[in-house]
Amino acid sequence: MFISNLTHFLDQKGNIPSDMPKEGREMASFLALIVDTATKDYHPAEKYTQIRCLKKKCTGRIEIDVDTKNEFIHWKCNKCQEEGRISDWGNTKWDNRE
């Protein structure tokens, strides 16, 4: 399980740094996409999002669960079962809550 604090992937301005290694940027972009989807247009009635799994050669899609009490987002692939939890995503540029 990936345990990720989104702010650890961001610079002082709240952006994903361009000088971050490729693997780090890919993970940061994946996490940002999950946060964006979870706080904007994700409908819990739909079991899986259109987000593809980050694992190479996996064709799975990501399921998202937002824990509003503890302020984290849990994600899981429906094929390979890769999963993770994202914390400290509130008030980032990908947080679409009003």
pLDDT digits (tens, 9 = 90+) for 65-80: 988 888 899 999 999 9
Q: Quick one: how far is CA 17 from the chain centroid?
A: 17
Confidence of residue 98 (pLDDT cuts 50, 70, 90): confident
* pTM for this model (two decimals): 0.90
Cα 52 from Cα 50, distance rounded (Å): 6
- The distance in angstroms from the start CA to the end CA of the chain is 30
Token duo for residue 30: 């994946």
- Over the stretch 27-41, which tens digit does the pLDDT of each residue have? 999 999 999 999 886
Cβ atoms of 77 and 71 within 8 Å: the answer is no
54 in Cβ contact with 25 (< 8 Å): no
